[in-house]
Amino acid sequence: MSPHGDWHASAQRNLFNRMIGQLYHCLQKGELFDEQLAFPTPLTAAA
């Protein structure tokens, strides 16, 4: 596997783990998922 493929697979695992953690939190707390809270838009990109 190329270094680029290793980086991509690692990035996908990181994103998946983050989303699973957020889902777990929502289920434990009985809260609805808020995409803006979970993945806030950086202020520089919003401007």
Q: Please tell me the distance from the alpha carbon of residue 10 to that of residue 1, in angstroms, as a whole number.
A: 12
For the entire predicted model, the pTM comes to 0.61
The answer to whether the beta carbons of residues 23 and 33 sit under 8 Å apart is yes
For the stretch 11-21, pLDDT in tens is 999 999 999 99
Domain count, the chain: 1
* Structural domain span for residue 30: 3-46
What phi and psi values does residue 41 have, to the nearest 5 degrees? Answer: -80, 125
For the stretch 1-42, pLDDT in tens is 566 778 899 999 999 999 999 999 999 999 998 888 877 888
**Which pLDDT score, from 0 to 100, does residue 47 have?**
57
